[in-house]
Amino acid sequence: MGNLLSNKNILVMGVRNKWSIAWGIVKAAQEEGANIIITYQGEREKEGAEQLGADSIFQCDISSDEEIDNLFAAIKEKYGVLHGVVHCIAHAKTEDLQNDFVYTSRDGFAHALDISAYSLVAVSRGAKDLMTEGGSIVTLTYMGSEKVFKGYNVMGVAKAALETSVMYLASDLGEANIRVNAISAGPIKLFLPKVLRILVTFWIPFLKKRLLKETSHKRTLEKQPCIF
């Protein structure tokens, strides 16, 4: 147990279950003494989120401006100040990951970019007014933004938009002493039914293209947002 984040109010968005990267980030931040606020997408994700023993849990479907507004109003009322946000949210339609990229629908393209990239902009806008003591916003990306990984498809485009959004947000919010960063994780083990797809889609190409000559260590990744 450390005290890197003691008395810090940290919002972690995107807990689905114990395989979620957000799950491990919550644990790591709790070990560093943070007051943790969790959001989950909907009823299906609620049970997982409740198991983490966070100080507060809120539902927030990131596609709804109203739910985002309600979230930050509730955080303001309870905590007054926010020190950190960890954005672990992404989604693309299954068919857009299974078909060749060239067949991505207009709707699927808009959906992936809305949930996986624009959501960071909306969340940063809500968070900045509560970060009156300065703060840090961290999101998770993947190298599919820079290189082609068959099957990552529109998510690669969304991650490129996410990374560019990070640059512009960092430029806007730097004056308020708010840092904005993206951590590019390597492929991480997921919920069992996803494993086979991930193996074929990410691991095999990743082992060929990896930048560092080692694979990602989940525990190291989960601790990184505590430092940023």
**142 given a catalytic annotation:** yes
For residues 62 to 81, the per-residue mask of contacts with ligand NAD, x marking binding by CB under 6 A and - elsewhere, is xx------------------
State the catalytic residue, choosing from 40, 79, 142, 168: 142
Nearest to 85 by CA among 40, 143, 128, 49: 128
Walk across the sheet containing 178-184 and list its strands. Answer: 56-59, 35-40, 9-13, 84-87, 135-141, 178-184
Handedness of CA 174, 178, 179, 182 (dihedral sign): negative
Tell whether 116 is in a known binding site.
no
Nearer to ligand NAD, 4 or 190 (CB): 190
Q: Can you tell me the distance from the alpha carbon of 41 to that of 20, in angstroms, rounded to the nearest whole number?
A: 13
Asked about 103 being catalytic, the answer comes back as no
For helices 153-173 and 119-128, the axis angle rounded to 10 degrees is 20
The span of 11-19, 95-103, 145-153, 174-182 binding ligand NAD (CB under 6 A) equals 11-19
Closest CA to 152 of 116, 182, 176, 118: 116
Residue 165 in the binding site for ligand NAD (CB under 6 A): no
Annotated ligand binding at 76? The verdict is no
Q: Name the residue with the smallest CB distance to ligand NAD.
A: 20
Binding residue numbers for NAD(+): 14, 20-21, 41, 89, 159
Interface with ligand NAD by CB under 6 A: which residues?
14-16, 20-22, 41, 45, 61-63, 88-91, 115, 140, 142, 185, 187-188, 190
Catalytic residues: 142, 152
